[in-house]
Structure 1
Amino acid sequence: MLRRILKSTTSLSLSSNIFLTSKNISPSSFLTTTLHNHTLKNFSSSSSSLEDQPSNESSQQQPSSTLSIDRSGLYNPPEHSHEPCSDSELVKQLKGIIKFRGGPISVAEYMEEVLTNPKAGFYMNRDVFGSGGDFITSPEVSQMFGELIGVWTMCLWEQMGQPDKVNLIELGPGRGTLMADLLRGASKFDKFTKSLHVHMVECSPTLQKLQYLTPKCAGEDVGESSGDKRTISMFVGAPVSWHATLEQVPSGLPTIIIAHEFFDALPIHQFQKASRGWSEKMVDVAEDSSFQFVLSPQPTPATLSLIKRCQWAAKEELAKLEQIEVCPKGMELTSNIAKRIGSDGGGALIIDYGLNGIVSDSLQAIRKHKFVDILDDPGSADLSAYVDFASIRHSAEEASDNVSIHGPIIQSQFLGSLGINFRVEALVQNCNDEQADLLRSGYWRLVGDGEAPFWEGPDDQTPIGMGTRYLAMAIVNKKQGVPVPFDNKIRHL
């Protein structure tokens, strides 16, 4: 049945890329009994120097601190420039903060300024996604990703009892590609789409403009007498609103939240084991006016978050670590999500790269698809860190007794169980050779593991699979039961 459902429409959007049938991914048939027939029938498409501290080489030998980091698109794209004046302005801003404080700032403060400074932050004034940007995310790889997130969303909506009104929220929508593919794929399911009010949580004015265009948004008159207008997506006629934070999204309605590669950009605090115990890593200005890492000589406010995180860990896990990363904003966001879902109903899907346990040392900077030094030319590179999924679980459980947490499972299992193999077979039917090659490459990036074995192009452009590096976790209201595909007896990490 699922094969017939996903083959029923062969719409291939311009953003598509393709498919390779993998022996390691066998989509389950559980959807045939979980979904109503009509749901998918037509689914379319301080200041001591770090050098003075004990060596942390031992931590690099541990699984939790030796990370194979991947952003799924690290190749050499056409050159593009970053504005030197903006970077220079941000450097001055950072040095001004350090001078005003009379000492170093935390890695989290540095990260937040670099990414979201209103005038010169990395995300604030330019499009950083895609081959012409700095990194590629799953929705940009293939339309299939957004379509299958749409399948998951409709499944949850059915488990919620098909409510007449639903807040569909995406955190950090990027260009809006995921939401566009989701809405386009669900456009034939009138009862579902008529229930939606789409909310895009985005702080970047530049990305908000892109998000307006991608789902084909337009103004619609609310009433002839008032002259008021609202923004709707032309794909499904659903209203679309933008907000700077989740808290600004009105509560009181059943809610579905999508957070894809959002938690990894939240600012993290780094701690290193020193002779005096755990010390927070800070950013200071060196004698030559460059930025350098130092350790705080005394406890910092973020130490409270470190203590909380350590209370969730086993002594054996802590004993082998020389460094620890904690994300207080991630804990707070998870708490807010859990409280909202616990009171209003619904669920949240979180997909990101990370670990189901304490993260040791994962902070990275990517510029033009290449790893660069974290302190080099701040504002010109993306900063991100591995997501601590265990911390998300504990934060949600503490925030509300009315939610249940499922996963994490690896992305290849998640997409495989939702039918990505069947979907790609349907798309391939109407493809030319070039489109088929793109779909094949895109499929591998989404569900493969390591370098693609079929690649015949340039070595520096070999597709790197993120099927086992990205994890999926769901937080849902307990009244709705276990969401798909977490009810499929898949081994959770």
Structure 2
Amino acid sequence: MLRRLLLKQASASRHLLSTKTPQSTSHPLLHKHLLFSSSSQSQTPQSTSVEHVDDADNNQASSTISIDRSCLYNPPAHSHEPTTDSELVKHLKDVIKFRGGPISVAEYMEEVLTNPKFGFYITRDVFGAGGDFITSPEVSQMFGEMVGIWAMCLWEQMGQPEKVNLVELGPGRGTLMADLLRGASKFKSFTESLHINMVECSPVLQKLQHQNLHCTDEVNTGGSVKNKTISTLAGTPVSWHASLEEVPSGLPTIIIAHEFYDALPVHQFQRASRGWCEKMVDVAEDSSLRFVLSPQPTPATLYLMKRCKWAAKEEVEKLNHIEICPKAMDLTHIIAKRISSDGGGALIIDYGLNGIVSDSLQAIRKHKFVNILDAPGSSDLSAYVDFPSIRHSAQEVSEDISVHGPITQSQFLGSLGINFRVEALLQNCTYEQAESLRTGYWRLVGEGEAPFWEGPDEETPIGMGTRYSAMAIVNKKQGIPVPFQ
């Protein structure tokens, strides 16, 4: 009796599974498994097969169902072994394990630079001699002054509007904007029209910018209007935003992006026997981070195809590596749309190429190049800017947009009058100040090692004049901006 009852229960269970199996393919997880069935072996999700065997009472054909476990969370393996991994490295490994596979170089770069807790830009001041690298504004006050002249000239071409949004993307310590406002402070009609908008995601750098712009916070007792922050350098209001989209629209806008594009995350592709494969970051068997190639096309391949269409066939065929930056393309779309609708222009100054970028991603720690995967979060990561990609991305948006350049930084600064500025400054300074001015001038406009240097060889100033380039995106109504005529 008991044996017959057990056999009936088993038969009922088998019948229940067999009747539900056809419907189970509509479940999202099982549907995803069917999509993976044509993939390569390395991309097939883990599954458990349950086989149903005929019994003596019911001669049914055997059937198999698969349970896709790829979307289930696998907690990190518990271990009592000591580890030297930083919190960011642990986080990266957890992300890779949670995804069930490697992450793109762009995802790695974004986590390393801007992770809210451990990101390189979020947790420290990385600029200047005591940081990891020196930017042009940190070299000499003349750089910010020349950018201020460019902004003022564009403002005049715009018809001298009474209100203008002056936006800086990634302002660092705020040195460029501070020098710009000091240099322009005598031109009251210009500075009184400005509302400064600093696009900065780092709380540490926001505090430095507040300090270097000599800001004061005016408390509004009425309650209906937000408190104002004013830079006492020129009496201009200042606001901070996490992204360009947060900057209020509706006013003519001047955007400055100095060494901002080079820090946007890039996707790297390598030519293989099966075509272009994206380079990814994975965890090796010894628990270290390593590079691998994707076995299948990735979403970023769409941007790769788009970029290759913008290039000559011969240019692409000679390359074995290509870097693309979807975020640079998307950011340029946002800039171009804003300029098209509100008027104004954008100035982009960065190091890069006037062509497809091959393999430029680098890590810098304490002014020295290090391995990209070495101690993530302790080094700056940057890549060459693809200037043609910026041009094409801007031109996609509107026929009201014109793009000019790139020209070298030396040409840009020279045309704006940096030679006259350094001569004027040299007339009223000490010997030490004169040496600093000459050194800063060479670094901004020179090429290679400074010929006048008499100090230690390891401190020889290296000119950035031809390594950095300038490009402008403007509304056509304003004509061609200086000095791109």
Q: Which interval holds the TM-score relative to the shorter structure?
A: 0.7 to 0.9
**Partner Cα separation in structure 2 for residue 345 and residue 86 of structure 1:** 52
| Residue 68 (structure 2) aligns with | none
Compared with structure 1, are the counterparts of its residues 217 and 276 closer, same or farther at alpha carbon in structure 2 (3 Å cutoff)? same
Alpha-carbon distance in 2 for matches of 1:449, 1:220: 46
Among 468, 472, 481, the residue aligned to 1:483? 481
**Matched ranges for 1:145-294 at <5 A:** 145-222=143-220, 228-294=226-292
For 1:235 and 1:86, the matched residues in 2 are separated by 47
Mapped contact 1:86–1:120 kept (Cα < 8 A): no
- Distance in 1, Cα, partners of 2:331 & 2:238: 22
AA at the equivalent of 2:369: F
Deviations 1:135-155 (A, max 9, x none): 000000000000000000000
Q: Quick one: which of 303, 323, 329 aligns to 1:331?
A: 329
Other structure's SS at 1:379 match: coil
Report the CA distance shift for 1:148/1:99 in structure 2 as closer, same or farther (over 3 A).
same
* Identity of matched residues, %: 79
1:433 aligns to 2:431 (yes or no): yes
Contact 1:87 1:120 in 2 (8 A): no
SS in 1 for 2:346: strand
Query: 2:397 matched to 1:399?
Result: yes
1:127 aligns with 2:125: yes
Distance (whole Å) between structure 1 residues aligned to residue 210 and residue 316 of structure 2: 45
In 1: Cα distance, 2:337 partner to 2:289 partner: 39
Relative distance call for 1:285 and 1:476 in structure 2 (3 A) is: same
- Which residue identity does 2:287 align to in structure 1? S
Correspondence 1:296-445 to 2 at 5 A: 296-445=294-443
Residue 204 (structure 1) shift: 0.5
CA distance in 2, matches of 1:286, 1:47: 18
The Cα offsets for residues 174-202 of structure 1, whole Å up to 9 and x where unpaired, read as 00000000001100111111110000000
Deviation at 1:288, TM superposition (A): 1.2
Shift of 1:308: 0.4
TM-score normalised over the length of structure 2: 0.82
Change (3 A) 1:227 1:478: closer
Pair member with larger Rg:
2
Offset at residue 431 of structure 1 (A)? 1.0
Aligned mates of 1:224, 1:102 — CA distance in 2:
54
Q: What letter is aligned with 2:123?
A: N
Q: CA deviation at 1:475?
A: 0.2
Shift of 1:408: 0.3
- Distance change in 2, residues 1:188/1:47 (3 Å): farther
> Shift in Å at residue 456 of structure 1?
1.1
Q: Secondary structure at 1:122's aligned position in 2?
A: coil
Residue by residue over 1:402-457, the C-alpha shift from the partner in whole angstroms, topping out at 9 and shown as x without a partner, is 11000000000000000000000010111111111111111110000011111111
Aligned length: 406
Contact 1:47–1:104 under 8 Å retained in 2:
no
1:211 aligns to what SS in structure 2? Answer: helix
**2-structure distance, mates of 1:398, 1:312:** 12
Matched-pair contact (CA < 8 Å) for 1:105–1:282? yes
> Which region of structure 1 is more displaced relative to structure 2, 150-159 or 211-220?
211-220
Identify the residue that residue 46 of structure 2 maps to in structure 1: none
Normalised TM-score (structure 1): 0.81
CA distance in 1, matches of 2:267, 2:226: 45
Ranked by relative contact order (alpha carbons within 8 Å, sequence separation 6 or more), the top structure is: 1
After superposition, give the CA deviation of every residue in 1:268-305 in whole Å (9 maximum; x if it has no partner).
Answer: 00000000000000001111111111100000000000
Find the residue that maps to 2:204 and give its secondary structure: helix
Separation in structure 2 between the aligned mates of residue 171 and residue 355 of structure 1, nearest angstrom: 21
Distance 1:423 1:116 in 2: 37
- In the alignment, the residues of structure 2 paired with residue 167 and residue 147 of structure 1 have an alpha-carbon distance, to the nearest angstrom, of 18
Q: Does the Cα contact within 8 Å between 1:87 and 1:378 map onto a contact in 2?
A: no
Distance 2:449 2:163 in 1: 43
Amino acid at match of 1:142: S
Letter in 1 for 2:359: D
Per-residue deviation, 1:221: 4.1
- Answering whether residue 437 of structure 2 is matched by residue 451 of structure 1, we say no
* Residue type at the aligned position of 1:260: H
Equivalent pair of 1:106/1:269 in contact (CA under 8 Å): yes
Please report how far the alpha carbon of residue 459 of structure 1 lies from its aligned counterpart in structure 2 after TM superposition.
Answer: 1.0
In 2, are the aligned partners of 1:324 and 1:361 still within 8 Å (CA)? Answer: yes
What does residue 21 of structure 1 align with?
none
RMSD (Å), alpha carbons: 1.5
Aligned partner of 1:472 in structure 2 is: 470
Distance 1:410 1:87, change over 3 A: farther
Secondary structure, in 3 states, of the residue corresponding to 1:198? strand
Question: Is this contact kept in 2: 1:47–1:103, CA < 8 A?
Answer: no
Letter aligned with residue 372 of structure 2: I
Aligned residue identity for 2:104 = S
Q: Deviations over 1:44-97 (max 9, x none)?
A: xx999xxxxxxxxxxxxxxxxxxxxxxxxxxxxxxxxxxxx9970100000000
Measure, in 2, the Cα distance between the counterparts of 1:214 and 1:86.
37
4+ runs deviating over 3 angstroms: 221-228
| Aligned-residue offset at 1:225 | 7.3
In structure 1, what is the Cα distance between the partners aligned to 2:142 and 2:422? 8
* Structure 2 CA distance for partners of 1:438 and 1:227, relative to 1, 3 Å: same
Partners of 1:225 and 1:141 in 2: how far apart? 43
Cα deviation, residue 328, structure 1? 0.1
SS class of match (1:239): strand
Q: What amino acid is aligned across from residue 456 of structure 2 in structure 1?
A: P
- Name the SS of the counterpart of 1:457 in structure 2: coil
Please identify, of 220-229 and 146-155, the stretch whose mean Cα deviation from structure 2 is larger: 220-229
Residue 273 of structure 1 aligns to a residue whose secondary structure is strand
What's the counterpart of residue 59 of structure 1? none
Give the structure 2 partner of residue 107 of structure 1: 105
Q: Secondary structure at the match of 1:316?
A: helix
Unaligned runs of 5+ residues in structure 2 are 1-39, 43-82
Amino acid at match of 1:97: V
Residue type of the partner of 2:446?
Answer: G
| Amino acid paired to 1:91 | V
Match of 1:11?
Answer: none
Q: 3-state SS of the aligned residue for 2:86?
A: helix
Report the equivalent of 2:89.
Answer: 91
